Amino acid sequence: MAGDLKISEMRDLTKIERVGAHSHIRGLGLDSALEPRAASEGMVGQTSARKAAGVIVKMIQEGKIAGRAVLIAGKPGTGKTAIAMGMAKSIGQETPFSMLAGSELFSLEMSKTEALMQAFRKAIGVRIKEETEVIEGEVVEIQIDRPAVAGAASKTGKLTVKTTEMETVYELGGKMIEALGKEKVQSGDVIAIDKASGKITKLGRSFSRSRDYDAMGPQTKFVQCPDGELQKRKEIVHCVTLHEIDVINSRTQGFLALFTGDTGEIRGEVREQIDTKVAEWREEGKAEIVPGVLFIDEVHMLDIECFSFLNRALENDMAPILVVATNRGITTIRGTNYKSPHGIPLDFLDRLLIISTQPYTEEDIRKILDIRCQEEEVEMSDDAKILLTKIGVETSLRYAIQLITSAALACQKRKGRIVEIEDISRVYELFYDVHRSTQYLMEYQSEFMFSEVPTGEGNQDDATPMVS
């Protein structure tokens, strides 16, 4: 493996975005002085938590600190996950952000610590500088020979390229001819050919051709014919995560495993080799570590072994910033009989900066519902919005958000265009919120299975979320 980590395969990897409960969140909505704007980038209210999150993002972007951990704590539906998503969006493309729900650890086909290790390494970026040789010049002529025998296996041809100072003819093989065709390269184009991979990039059309090609349309980019030598050394930078390097180097099908997620456990020796290699690159100035963010939602689902692992992992000098979130109050630490705040052991809590989220005001709820209506492209009358906001205050923000889609469907059904009060009340009757459902359960308890609800108040279940 020594010198040839398969990095170049990573160049074309793209990130996939999902649409869902938080798709309206486009950032933290802060101004340049990190002051939260009342409503911006899909974010409403929750100002002090957003500001705190902004400070963390700033720290991450400066890239100096490693191994800090932040806890976002608050009641259900107060925007903890939303704030984490906002951080992810505002952190910049090059900084890796990896996300994991505590419960996921227990359903993977690998040990919990291996899963955590992978999550950690997904959150550590490596910026690698590579020098490659490129041929850069203006195409003078492309000449493709007709095969002497019809259907002969491979085509051949010649490519003439020039700079302002020189002109050279290159022999073409079948692969290059195909690549030129794919990029639709013609004479007069300025191109760059990566010598190692044979990848062709069209840089634009030469200015000298600007007159003959008036008809090419405004999108044509004109560039100067390059000067100097045809062959140049160029520095290219790519960013990958340690996890990506691990996977690619640990299996023959490594690259594909990244897409299927079927990475399996990665052997310790592979990681060690990679860490050594990366350390060498850092010393030679070829690579830089970019500590990213690992977000673990529902952190109370972790058990004592996971927490110990996190304690240790945070002390590594390549550690990312860890952001965890929970809605639990004082509860049992999984895997023990001890209770602690948020179900998190005290030694780990001690390492955390805590951001707390507050319940929303009626005004905030109205604005969030407004944004969600826009996001889901639902038109709603003002009266209906007022009613929905009331429902949000009385029950929960989440329940009110859910009603938007269903009310829109009810509206469609009666061939309406704008969601009115009647649609809202119709779905309010169709779908119960927790309070009404509980009430129903209380009334008809005896008819359900396993009904063991004690009659008195103050049922302090371990798993009860924080409710004041």
Ligand X SMILES: Nc1ncnc2c1ncn2[C@@H]1O[C@H](COP(=O)(O)OP(=O)(O)OP(=O)(O)O)[C@@H](O)[C@H]1O
Choice between 90 and 163, CB closer to ligand X: 90
Choice between 81 and 98, CB closer to Mg ion: 81
What's the closest the beta carbon of residue 453 comes to ligand X, in angstroms?
A: 22
> For Mg ion, which residue has the nearest CB?
81
Q: How far apart are CA 120 and CA 123, in angstroms?
A: 5
- 81: contact with ligand X by CB under 6 A: yes
Site string for ligand X, 215-244 (x = CB under 6 A): ------------------------------
Choice between 355 and 397, CB closer to ligand X: 397
- Measured in degrees and rounded to the nearest 5, phi and psi for residue 392 equal -60, -40
CB-count burial class (<10 Å; 0-12, 13-18, 19+) for 192: middle
Q: Which two tokens stand for residue 248?
A: 């690619």
What's the closest the beta carbon of residue 32 comes to Mg ion, in angstroms?
A: 28
Q: Which two tokens stand for residue 258?
A: 């990244």
Task: List the single partner that 98 binds among Mg ion, ligand X, none, CB under 5 to 8 Å by kind.
Answer: none
In this structure, are residues 28 and 83 in contact, taking their beta carbons and an 8 Å threshold?
yes
Which residue among 43, 53, 373, 403 contacts ligand X (CB under 6 A)? Answer: 43
Task: List the single partner that 250 binds among Mg ion, ligand X, none, CB under 5 to 8 Å by kind.
Answer: none
- Residues 382-401 close enough to bind ligand X by CB under 6 A: 397-398, 401
Write out the E strands in 8-47. 39-40, 43-44
Residues that bind Mg ion (CB under 5 A): 81
What's the closest the beta carbon of residue 433 comes to ligand X, in angstroms?
A: 14
Stretch that binds ligand X, among 1-9, 36-44, 142-150, 442-450 (CB under 6 A): 36-44
Q: Which two tokens stand for residue 365?
A: 């709820």
Which residue among 80, 89, 205, 271 contacts ligand X (CB under 6 A)? Answer: 80
Strand-strand pairing, 321-326 and 69-73:
parallel
- 403: contact with ligand X by CB under 6 A: no
Strand-strand pairing, 167-172 and 321-326:
unpaired
- 248: contact with ligand X by CB under 6 A: no
What's the closest the beta carbon of residue 360 comes to Mg ion, in angstroms?
A: 14
Which residue among 36, 77, 254, 320 contacts ligand X (CB under 6 A)? Answer: 77
Write out the E strands in 287-432. 287-291, 293-297, 321-326, 330-332, 339-341, 352-356
Choice between 76 and 198, CB closer to ligand X: 76
Total site size for ligand X, rule CB under 6 A: 21
Choice between 25 and 245, CB closer to ligand X: 25
Which 3 state secondary structure label does DSSP give 116? Answer: helix
Which residue among 36, 42, 125, 226 contacts ligand X (CB under 6 A)? Answer: 42
In this structure, are residues 124 and 246 in contact, taking their beta carbons and an 8 Å threshold?
no
Tell me the one-letter amino acid at 110: M
Choice between 289 and 378, CB closer to ligand X: 378
- Residue 91, Cβ neighbours under 10 Å: how many? 21
What's the closest the beta carbon of residue 326 comes to Mg ion, in angstroms?
A: 9
Q: Please tell me the total number of residues recorded for the chain in this structure.
A: 468
Tell me which DSSP letter residue 449 carries. T
Task: List the single partner that 327 binds among ligand X, Mg ion, none, CB under 5 to 8 Å by kind.
Answer: ligand X
Residues 6+ apart with CB under 8 A from 132: 194, 195, 196, 233, 234, 236
What's the closest the beta carbon of residue 427 comes to ligand X, in angstroms?
A: 18
End-to-end C-alpha distance for the chain, whole angstroms: 57
Q: How far is CA 182 from the centre of its chain?
A: 31
- Residues 272-331 close enough to bind ligand X by CB under 6 A: 327
- Measured in degrees and rounded to the nearest 5, phi and psi for residue 81 equal -65, -40
- 343: contact with ligand X by CB under 6 A: no
CA distances from 228 to 137, 167, 232, 322, 393 (A): 10, 11, 9, 49, 70
Task: List the single partner that 76 binds among ligand X, Mg ion, none, CB under 5 to 8 Å by kind.
Answer: ligand X
> For ligand X, which residue has the nearest CB?
79
What's the closest the beta carbon of residue 60 comes to ligand X, in angstroms?
A: 20
In this structure, are residues 203 and 190 in contact, taking their beta carbons and an 8 Å threshold?
yes
- 76: contact with ligand X by CB under 6 A: yes
- 90: contact with ligand X by CB under 6 A: no
Q: How far apart are CA 312 and CA 325, in angstroms?
A: 19
Choice between 70 and 191, CB closer to Mg ion: 70
What's the closest the beta carbon of residue 295 comes to ligand X, in angstroms?
A: 11
Stretch that binds ligand X, among 79-87, 149-157, 166-174, 283-291 (CB under 6 A): 79-87
Cβ density class 390-415: b for 16+ within 10 Å, e for less: ebbbebbbebbbbbbebbbebbeeee
Query: Among 394, 384, 386, 389, which Cα is nearest to 436's?
Result: 394
What's the closest the beta carbon of residue 39 comes to ligand X, in angstroms?
A: 8
- Residues 348-387 close enough to bind ligand X by CB under 6 A: 368
Interface residue list for ligand X (CB under 6 A): 21-22, 25, 42-46, 74, 76-82, 327, 368, 397-398, 401
